[in-house]
Amino acid sequence: MMDVQRIRKDFPMLKAHPELVYFDNGATTLKPQCVIDAVNDFYTAHTSNVHRGDYAIASLNDRLYDGARGSFAKLLNCSSQEIIFTHNATASLNQIAWGLGHDFLKPGDVILTTEAEHASNLLPWFRMKEEYGVEVRYVPLDNQANLDLSEFAKALTPEVRAVAVAMVTNVLGSIQPIKEISRMAHAQGALVIVDGAQAVPHMKVDVKDLDIDFLAFSAHKMCGPSGVGILYGKKQLLDAMSPVFMGGDMNARFQKECTYELKKGPSKFEAGTPNIEGVIASAKACEYLMEIGLDEIHAYEKELRAYFLEQMQKLGNIEIYNPDNLYGPIDFNAKGVFSQDAAGYLASRNIAVRSGNHCAKILHEVIGTDSTIRASLYFYNTKEEVDRCVSACADISLENAIGIFF
C-alpha cells in the first residue's frame, strides 16, 4: 500500500505551497527532491559535456548519461540501445513521423490515427502528407474517445502502413487497447506508433508485451525535469531510420566530398550537446516511480479518480464529459460558465487546473464542446485535495467567476 503522506514529503513544491491543490498533472508534474538534487549536483559537483572528455568528471557524466538508458529500458522492458533521448514527446514524435516519411513510406500509404490525438501526434503526420504524399485517416471513436476494435478492423485497409495513437488520450483519459491494435496492425505489416505521454507516468507500459514499434513520452510528466523526451524504437527499425538532426556526436566520420558515416545506436539520433543534467535527473525520476511501483501508482490514482468522480457527480452545476472512463483526468464544465472563467475562479481558490481545448483541437467533434476544464491527478494527490476542489467547483457561477476581478 502506498503511503501518500510520506510520498508528499519528497516534493518541495507541496511544502512551499500548502494552500495549493495541484490538479494540472496532465500538463506537467511536480518534482521530488532526488530529481532536483540530480540537476543541482550536475551544476555544483560534476559539470562537463558528454562523450567528449578524457578526464574523470567527463567519464562520470558519460556513465550517468548513458546509464540513464538502462533505467528507462527497465521501465519499458526493452534494451538500453532502444532508448533515445530527445527534448520532449513532441520531438520524439516528429523524429518518428519524419523518419517514417523519409525511409519507410511511399505516396498513397495511409497513417491511421484518431480525432482525440494531441497536436503533437497529428501535425507531424499532416506534414508527412504535405511532404511525402501519405494520407491521414481517422478511426471513429465513441463520445468518450474510446477506440472500438471492430471500427479499427474496418479502418485497417491494406493501404494502412502505420497506426499512430495515444495509449491514454490527454483530454478524456481513454485507455486504448494497444495490444489488440498492435496484433491487428502487425498482421498486415503496419507499424504501431504510440504516444505514451499520458500513459507511461501512470501505468506499467511493457513495449514487448504490447509489441509497440515506436513509443514517445516526456520526462516532465513523470516527475522528471523539462526538456527531456524519450523515444523508444525497436532496434531494427531505429537502425533503418534516418535522424532529423545532423551534427556533432552523432557522426562517425565525414569528408570534404560531403560523404559521411553516422554512428550506430542511440547516439545517431542525439546530435549536439544533449540536456545532460535533464537526462541524468530523468533517470532518477524513472527509478523513483519504479521504487513506488507503477501498478501501485495506477491503482491509487484509479481509486482517487473514482472518488473524485463520485463527488463531482453530486454537483448540479457541473457537467462531466468522461464519466464512464475509469482512469485519467476528469473533464468538465460548470453549466453556463466559459471554461476559462471557471478555471480563473478555481485559481482564486488555489486550485490549479487547465482550461481550453488541451491541444486536441479536433476532439470537439467527438465530445460536442470546444473547451473544457481538465483536472488531472497524480499519485501525490489526496482525497482531502479532491474535497477542496469539489467544494470550490460547487461554487462556480458566473457571478463568482467575474467576482475574482473585484
Partner 1 sequence: MSDYLQMLEDPEVLRELIMDHYKYPHHHSLTEDMKYRKVHMSSDSCIDDITVQSDIEDGVIRDIRFDGTACTISTSSTSIMTDLLRNKTVAEAKAIIEQYMNMLDGKEYDPGMLEEAVAMKNVYRQANRIKCATIGWKAISQMIEESENSHE
- Report the site for partner 1 in 248-267 (rule: CB under 8 A): none
From the list 44-52, 85-93, 101-109, 356-364, the region that binds partner 1 by CB under 8 A is 356-364
Query: Is the Cα torsion angle 299, 305, 308, 312 positive or negative in sign?
Result: negative
| 146 versus 400: smaller Cβ distance to partner 1 | 400
CA distances from 294 to 94, 226, 300, 388 (A): 27, 21, 10, 26
**Interaction mask 378-397, partner 1, x per CB under 8 A:** --------------------
Which one from 286, 359, 389, 393 is the annotated catalytic residue? Answer: 359
Q: Least distance from C-beta 126 to partner 1, angstroms?
A: 17
Taking CB under 8 A as the criterion, the residue among 340, 352, 387, 394 binding partner 1 is 340
Q: Which residue has the cell 505521454?
A: 197
Taking CB under 8 A as the criterion, the residue among 137, 263, 349, 361 binding partner 1 is 361
* Annotation marks residue 78 as catalytic: no
Pairing of strands 318-320, 330-334: antiparallel
| 12 versus 403: smaller Cβ distance to partner 1 | 403
Q: Least distance from C-beta 402 to partner 1, angstroms?
A: 5
Taking CB under 8 A as the criterion, the residue among 136, 244, 299, 398 binding partner 1 is 398
Neighbouring C-alpha atoms within 13 Å toward the C-beta of 349: 23
| 221 versus 354: smaller Cβ distance to partner 1 | 354
Q: What is the distance, to the nearest Å, from the Cα of residue 171 to the centroid of all Cα atoms in its chain?
A: 12
Q: Least distance from C-beta 398 to partner 1, angstroms?
A: 6
Q: Is 399 in the site for partner 1 (CB under 8 A)?
A: yes
Q: Is 370 in the site for partner 1 (CB under 8 A)?
A: yes
| 138 versus 338: smaller Cβ distance to partner 1 | 338
- Report the site for partner 1 in 87-126 (rule: CB under 8 A): none
Q: Which amino acid is at 142?
A: D
Q: Angle, nearest 10°, between helix axes 123-132 and 89-99?
A: 20
- For the chain, the residue count is 406
CA–CA dist 347, 264 (Å, integer): 49
Q: Least distance from C-beta 331 to partner 1, angstroms?
A: 15
Residue of 172, 192, 214, 220 lying closest to 82 (CA atoms): 214
Q: What is the distance, to the nearest Å, from the Cα of residue 362 to the centroid of all Cα atoms in its chain?
A: 19
Q: Least distance from C-beta 373 to partner 1, angstroms?
A: 11
Q: How far apart are the first and last CA of the chain?
A: 45
Q: What is the CA radius of gyration of the chain?
A: 22
Q: Which residues are catalytic?
A: 359
Question: What is the contact surface with partner 1 in residues (CB under 8 A)?
Answer: 338-341, 344, 355-357, 359, 361, 370-371, 398-399, 401-406
